[in-house]
Amino acid sequence: MAGERDALTGEPLERRAIISGAAQSDVGRRLYRTGIDLTVEAALGAIEDAGLTAADIDGVSTYPGFGGSFGGAMGAELHEALRLSLNWRSAGVETAGPLGAVHNAILAVAAGLARHVLVFRTVFEGSGGPLRPGGRGGGGGGMAGSAGPFQFMIPYGAASAACWVACYARRHMHDYGTTRTQLGAIAVNGRANAAANPKAIYTEPMTIDDYLAVRMVSEPLCLYDCDVPCDGSTAVVVSHRDYAPDAPAAAVGINAMGTAIRGRPSWDQFDDLTSMMMHHTAASMWERTELTVADVDAAQLYDGFSWLTLAWIEAMGFCGKGESGPFIEGGANIAPDGPVPLNTSGGQLSAGRLHGYGHLHEAVMQLRGTANIGVPGCEVVAVGAGGGPETGCLLLTKGPS
């Protein structure tokens, strides 16, 4: 193992933290509620779930930390709305993807800056606007209306992350023979699992033939390869592991986290057009643990676009580089009773674009044994969120790691 260690125990510092509480607000296509309203619902739920009161919360962490349709709500808004008294607060978009807010909370707890950090991610994209020039950018904001890196794609009508991800998907198909029928297994698996999730947006059955027949968006990606914008907030409480015996629900341990961004921080200039930054991010997670991919009982891997899940599957090592197409074909390997149960609450394609936090919430439920579709004996879950240059991951365990 590499990376920083506790000088006395030799453990990675993230193991000082646990997830003690988790909750979601109502989730819907268009709820016409404000971002802070949804955030308060999720936050109060998570605090109660953790067996705490608002007075116990001494830290707040969120991604990305601004309002609007992409940002949802600011950390300061929650701070004020609940009149919290904080020792530490953090928000930002330049993290290892959306889970960066969880990474930051873990570090704050491990450093002793806070004992119970409320982490939230609120999306408000169903009621907000779609991608457009001058609007918010995919996965980080500031896409257009600035002379930044997107100035080389906007003039060509590549205004959505769908266009950029489609280019990687096509090259993956070209180099490795991946087919649309194989790719479709991600959407079909998600839809089947969403049927058991009462908060999922789309629950009607979908077959691979339905997938192949739907309209194309940005070839080779079709409508069902793109997640569905929604309104909703997810909150978790990251606590010191000392609290685990007092927490009413089974604590979820942080075994390792992956944060590396070793390649070019770019949607269009990453050196390998068949992978993305998660290739490095997942590798950095495995460098921090004695566990291996064979120990993982379930995977919650980002599906903002279906091809991103293929990239995560390969990056995590569930199959070899370029082998994700045959690995997922037909869906048996990723079904709830398969060797790698994937996106067991429906993922973002069917359950809504909660920006990786739906995946995180589901991981907690699996490890507690309270998921709608439970994976028997689930003790280790890998969570990966984000795409392009904005990726981060967590390896979570049943009980403190």
Partner 1 sequence: MSAGNPPRFVLASPESEFYWRSGADGRLRIQRCGDCRRWIHPPGPACPFCHSRRIGPEPVAGTGTVATFTINRKEWIPGFTPPYVFAFVELDEDPTVRIGTNIVGCDIDEVEIGMRVEVLFEESGEWHVPLFRPIAAEAA
Q: Closer to partner 1 by CB, 204 or 271: give it.
A: 271
Which residue among 31, 81, 167, 208 contacts partner 1 (CB under 8 A)?
A: 167
221 lines the binding site for partner 1 (CB under 8 A): yes
163 lines the binding site for partner 1 (CB under 8 A): yes
Helix axes 306-316, 161-176, angle to 10 degrees: 60
159 lines the binding site for partner 1 (CB under 8 A): yes
Site for partner 1 in 259-298 (CB under 8 A): 268-269, 271, 273
157 lines the binding site for partner 1 (CB under 8 A): yes
Distances (CA, A) of 314 to 26, 164, 172, 286, 291: 33, 19, 12, 13, 17
Q: Which of 25, 2, 84 is nearest to 258 (CA)?
A: 2
Provide, rounded to whole angstroms, the least separation between the CB of residue 27 and partner 1: 25
Return d(Cα 241, Cα 250) in angstroms, integer: 12
Contact assessment for residue 195 and residue 205, using Cβ atoms and an 8 Å cutoff:
yes
Contact assessment for residue 259 and residue 103, using Cβ atoms and an 8 Å cutoff:
yes
Strands 252-258 and 88-91, sheet pairing: unpaired
Provide, rounded to whole angstroms, the least separation between the CB of residue 159 and partner 1: 4
Q: Which of 164, 198, 165, 180 is nearest to 27 (CA)?
A: 198
Q: Which two tokens stand for residue 333?
A: 């390997």
Helix axes 306-316, 180-194, angle to 10 degrees: 100
Provide, rounded to whole angstroms, the least separation between the CB of residue 226 and partner 1: 10
Q: Closer to partner 1 by CB, 151 or 207: give it.
A: 151
Q: Closer to partner 1 by CB, 161 or 187: give it.
A: 161
Which residue among 156, 198, 205, 290 contacts partner 1 (CB under 8 A)?
A: 156
Which residue among 32, 215, 294, 337 contacts partner 1 (CB under 8 A)?
A: 215
Whats the size of the chain, residue-wise?
Answer: 401
Instruction: Say how many residues touch partner 1, by CB under 8 A.
Output: 38
Binding mask 109-148 toward partner 1 (x if CB under 8 A, else -) reads ----------------------xxx----------xxxxx
Which residue among 4, 6, 209, 219 contacts partner 1 (CB under 8 A)?
A: 219
Site for partner 1 in 41-60 (CB under 8 A): none
Contact assessment for residue 100 and residue 90, using Cβ atoms and an 8 Å cutoff:
no
Which residue among 171, 196, 250, 272 contacts partner 1 (CB under 8 A)?
A: 171
Q: Where are the alpha helices (DSSP H) in 246-335?
A: 278-286, 306-316, 324-328
Site for partner 1 in 344-363 (CB under 8 A): none
Catalog residues that contact partner 1 under the rule CB under 8 A.
Answer: 131-133, 144-149, 151-160, 162-163, 166-168, 170-171, 174, 215-221, 268-269, 271, 273
